[in-house]
């Protein structure tokens, strides 16, 4: 039985309030993890390349049904974390479970959209052929496409709002439409977890909003857990429920209302950042205006970080969402 709802709505550029309304009601789905369980669990996890530790002492849990961003400055290990969750990079310490199993064992239930998809995909493929690769791409040899597979691909294209582009070559589509093709390809196998690496990069404003609207509907109607690597939080803020932030070599997890703190974001990005709330209740993250050019980069001690984040590490494991915020 297909999980896709029928008669998908048109994907027009939403307002912030439209997206917030999309996320207020999540429908439970049969055959998926319960909303009270944790989708991804780190327990004193660490990863390194060669002799260099990328990050360590990661102890937190990401809830099922959440929309989470992985944020941090360049080189802190955001994409590395996602690759570890896929089992592509081994931990050097601790443990990491995804969908209740060790990382890598449940990849068949994970949809993944790489950062390079839009630029590197074969532009001679049609949108439909590209989505079908989500069903056949891991099989060697030539295999006939069944009617059921074509129907499944069309459902995914309909859900992302681009069924009318099924016969178009990717070279004929804009970057925003190609990104939705990539999402449709990741969805065609009915994943429980969708992972996207910089999905809004190099897209214009309208395409960013349309992509966020697709993610909002996935989370609302399918209760799909979504994880996004992101530099700019602003477009994603209406749908985010939490964030993993990589600071001083340690990953932390917190709900968004705790992450949206000027002091925390200033420490995180090493420059003055303010969180602005409009009279309508919308929130934006922005650099502080008129910052002095000769102001030194924010450099904080380990003691200051510990006080700000209440970061604890050791051998204790953390398997509950309730405790994850305390250990962020």
Average pLDDT over the chain, rounded to whole? 78
Listed range (116-120, 175-179, 185-189, 216-220) with the worst mean pLDDT? 116-120
Residue 35: band (very low, low, confident or very high) from pLDDT cuts 50, 70, 90: very low
Residue 328 has a pLDDT of: 36
Query: What was the pLDDT predicted at 103?
Result: 97
Give the C-alpha separation, 245 to 73, whole Å. Answer: 9
User: What is the model's pLDDT at position 119?
Assistant: 58
- Give the span between the Cα atoms of 245 and 112, in whole angstroms: 20
Residue 40, pLDDT above cutoff 70: yes
Rounded-to-integer distance, Cα 327 and Cα 61, Å = 10
Confirm if 218 and 187 have CB atoms less than 8 A apart.
yes
Q: Is the pLDDT of residue 30 over 70?
A: no
Q: Lowest mean pLDDT of 13-27, 93-107, 201-215, name the range.
A: 13-27
pLDDT tens string 222-258: 999 999 999 888 899 999 999 999 988 899 999 998 9
Assess whether pLDDT exceeds 50 at residue 23: no
Query: pLDDT at residue 288 above 50?
Result: yes
Is the per-residue pLDDT at 10 higher than 70? no
Mean pLDDT computed over 137-159: 84
Q: Are 268 and 260 in contact (CB under 8 A)?
A: no
For residue 278, what pLDDT is reported?
65
Confidence of residue 27 (pLDDT cuts 50, 70, 90): very low
Which of helix, strand or coil describes residue 181? helix
To 10 degrees, what angle do helices 147-159 and 205-222 make?
A: 120
| Domain boundaries along the sequence of the chain | 16-27+39-259, 260-310
Averaged pLDDT, 157-181: 93
Q: pLDDT grade, residue 261 (50/70/90)?
A: confident
Residues 97-122 have a mean pLDDT of 86
Contact by Cβ (8 Å): 259, 285: no
Is the pLDDT confidence value at 150 over 70?
Answer: yes
Eight-state DSSP code of residue 315: S
pLDDT beyond 50 at 310: no
Q: What is the CATH architecture of 16-27+39-259?
A: 3-Layer(aba) Sandwich (3.40)
**Average pLDDT score over residue span 300-304:** 42
| Residue 284: strand, helix, or coil | strand
Using the structure block, give the residue that is written with the tokens 């912030």.
16
What was the pLDDT predicted at 162?
95
Is the entire prediction scored with pTM above 0.85?
no
Q: What is the pLDDT of residue 73?
A: 86
Give the pLDDT of residue 289. 63
> For tokens 């970057």, what's the residue?
175
* Residue 98: per-residue pLDDT: 97
**Choice between 287 and 216, residue whose per-residue pLDDT is larger:** 216
Helix axes 175-187, 147-159, angle to 10 degrees: 130
pLDDT of 316 over the 70 cut: no
Q: What is the pLDDT of residue 178?
A: 92
**Res 169: pLDDT:** 94
Segment 109-120, tens digit of pLDDT: 999 998 876 556
Question: Mean pLDDT throughout 179-190?
Answer: 94
């Amino acid at each position: 039985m297909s999980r896709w709802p029928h008669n998908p709505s048109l994907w027009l550029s939403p307002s912030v309030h439209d997206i917030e309304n999309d996320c207020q009601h999540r429908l439970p789905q049969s055959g998926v993890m319960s909303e009270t369980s944790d989708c991804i669990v780190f327990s004193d996890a660490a990863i390194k390349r060669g002799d260099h530790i990328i990050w360590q002492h990661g102890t937190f849990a990401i809830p099922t049904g959440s929309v989470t961003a992985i944020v941090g400055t360049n080189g802190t290990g955001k994409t590395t974390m996602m690759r570890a969750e896929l089992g592509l990079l081994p931990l050097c310490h601790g443990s990491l479970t995804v969908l209740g199993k060790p990382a890598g064992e449940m990849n068949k239930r994970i949809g993944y959209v790489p950062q390079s998809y839009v630029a590197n995909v074969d532009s001679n493929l049609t949108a439909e052929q590209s989505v079908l690769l989500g069903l056949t791409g891991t099989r060697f040899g030539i295999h006939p496409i069944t009617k059921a597979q074509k129907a499944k691909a069309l459902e995914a294209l309909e859900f992302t709002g681009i069924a009318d582009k099924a016969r178009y070559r990717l070279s004929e589509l804009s970057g925003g439409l190609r990104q939705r093709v990539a999402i449709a390809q990741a969805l065609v196998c009915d994943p429980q977890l969708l992972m996207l690496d910089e999905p809004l990069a190099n897209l214009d404003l309208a395409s960013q909003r349309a992509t966020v609207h697709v993610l909002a509907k996935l989370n609302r109607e399918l209760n799909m857990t979504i994880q996004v690597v992101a530099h700019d939080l602003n477009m994603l803020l209406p749908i985010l429920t939490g964030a993993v932030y990589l600071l001083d070599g340690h990953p932390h997890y917190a709900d968004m209302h705790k992450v949206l703190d000027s002091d925390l974001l200033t420490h995180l990005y090493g420059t003055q950042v303010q969180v602005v709330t409009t009279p309508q209740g919308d929130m934006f993250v922005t650099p502080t205006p008129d910052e002095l050019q000769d102001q030194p980069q924010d450099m904080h001690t380990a003691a200051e970080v510990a006080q700000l984040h209440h970061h604890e590490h050791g051998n204790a494991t953390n398997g509950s969402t309730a405790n994850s915020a305390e250990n962020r």
